[in-house]
Amino acid sequence: MTKSYSVTRLDNGLRIATKNMPDMKSAALGVWFGCGSRYETRKMNGISHFIEHLVFKGTKKRSGNEICETIEGLGGEINASTSEESTVYFVKIIQEKLPLAVDILLDMVINPVFKKEFLEKQREIVFEEIHMYEDTPPSHVEDLFNHLIWKGNTLGASILGSIESMTRISRKDITEYKGKMYTSNNCVVAAAGDIDHKAFVKLVRKHTRYLKPGKKPQFRKVRAKWSKPGLLIEKRNTEQVHVLLGVPALHWTHPSRFALKLISTILGENMSSRLFKSVREEKGYAYSIHTDIDRFLDTGSFYVGAGIVTEKIIPALKLVLAELGRLRKTKVPKRELERAKEFIRGNLIMGSEQTTSLMHWLGESLRMADRINEIDYTINALINVSAEEIRNLARSLFKDGRLNLALIGDIKDSSSIEKVLRFA
C-alpha cells in the first residue's frame, strides 16, 4: 500500500510529517514537544503549562502582539495545549501563508524571551485558570479522578499545577526546564494541506537549524496495583453530583485499543449509546453522561463522566455499573456492534477531510508511537474486532478491585457509595 503521508527525520532527530491535500486552500501546522505534567517534579508541577503561556509573549524577533496579530490578521488561528505527556502549538492559515506560519510558530517556540514582567502577569493568569477549574466541578472532578487512579504517580498531578508550585517557579527554573525539554529529538512538526513535502522539510530545517538534540526526557512509569475500589469525595453544596467512574486501561499502542474504542462507543459516546439511553432517557438520572479513553505511553484509563441528580446518585451508580457489567456477561448483538463500527468509521472519514484533524493525527501518532498508521488501517482493525474480543476485554478491565470513583457534590453518607462500588 502506498503511504498517503510523508515522514522525514532530520540529522538532529527532529521528525517531520506531512499529508498532501491538493484540493485544500487552507493548511494546518503543529509543533509537538514531549513535555507535560508527568515529566515534572512535585516542586515544579505546572511548569510545562506555564511555558506554553509564556512563549506567546514574544521573541527577539517579534512581540507577542505581533505573533497573534499577524496570524489573525490573515484570518488564521493560533493556539496551544498542554497534556500529561505533550505540549503542542498549532496554527491554521490559508495555504499561501504557510511559510510565514512556519517562521512565526517555530520562532515562537524555539526563541521565546522570558521577560520578568510577562512572567509575573502570566503567573497571575495561571492562578486564575487554576481557580476557574477548581470552581468548575465537571473539570475539577477529572483532576480528582486522576489523582486517585494513579496513586501518587506524576501522571495524576494537575496539568495546571497548584498555587504553591506555581508561586515558587522562577525564571531560572523556566529557562532550564525549557532547555532540557525543547530539544530537536524531542520535537515533531506536522502539517496538512496542499503541501510539497520536500519543500516543507527544507523550510522546517531552515528554522530549526539552531535547535539541538538533548537527553531523552524520562518519567516514572505507573507501578500501582489495584486490588480494591478507590473512592475520593469532595463535599460541596452543588445542585448535581459530578461523577467520574473508571478503571485503568490500555497504553497508546496496545493491540486491544480498537476493542476498547468500541466499548467506549457502545457505552457512551453518542445518543444511541447504552448509558445515554438508560441513565438519561429512560431513568432521567442525568442530563449529561459520556464515556472517554485516555491513552498514555505506558498505561491508560477508561471512564464514565456524568452530572447526576443528587437524590439519585445511588441508583444511578448501580445502573452505570450494571451496564458495564453487562458487557462482561453478554456479547454485544451484531446489529449494535455494526452500528458502533460505522459510527467510528464515519467520524474517521469525516475527520480525514479536515486539515486540522489530520495534522493532529500525524503529530500525535509520530510523537506517541513514532509511526503513523493509515486511517484505512485503523478502520480495518476496528471492523475486524469481534464481539468475543469485546467481552474478553471487558472481563479483564471491569473488575471490582480496579474501580475508581471521584465525586464532587452534597454527599451525606459516603459509606452507602462504598457499598455500591462493585459489579453485579
The structural domains of the chain, ordered by start, are: 5-207 (3.30.830.10), 230-420 (3.30.830.10)
Please, are residues 159 and 50 in contact by the beta-carbon 8 Å criterion? no
Span 21-63, pLDDT tens digits:
999 999 999 999 999 999 999 999 999 999 999 999 999 999 9
Q: pLDDT averaged over consecutive 10-residue blocks of the chain (424 residues)?
A: 84 97 96 97 96 96 96 97 98 97 98 92 96 95 96 94 97 97 98 97 96 95 89 94 98 98 98 97 96 97 97 96 97 98 97 95 96 95 98 97 96 91 87
- Matching residue, cell 510523508: 6
At residue 228, the 3 state secondary structure works out as coil
Q: What is the pLDDT of residue 2?
A: 54
pLDDT value for 225: 83
pLDDT on residue 1 = 44
What confidence score (pLDDT) does residue 224 get? Answer: 77
- Is residue 184 a contact partner of residue 211, using CB atoms and an 8 Å limit? yes
pLDDT score, position 156: 95
Q: What is the pLDDT of residue 423?
A: 87
Question: Which residues are CB-neighbours of 131 under 8 A, at least 6 positions away?
Answer: none
Q: What is the pLDDT of residue 328?
A: 96
Report helix, strand and coil shares of the chain as percent, to nearest 5: 50, 20, 30
Q: Annotated catalytic, 269?
A: no
Decide: 297 and 85 in contact? Cβ < 8 Å. Answer: yes
Q: Which of 52, 84, 142, 269 is catalytic?
A: 52
Q: What is the pLDDT of residues 157-183, one digit of tens each?
A: 999 999 999 999 999 999 999 999 999
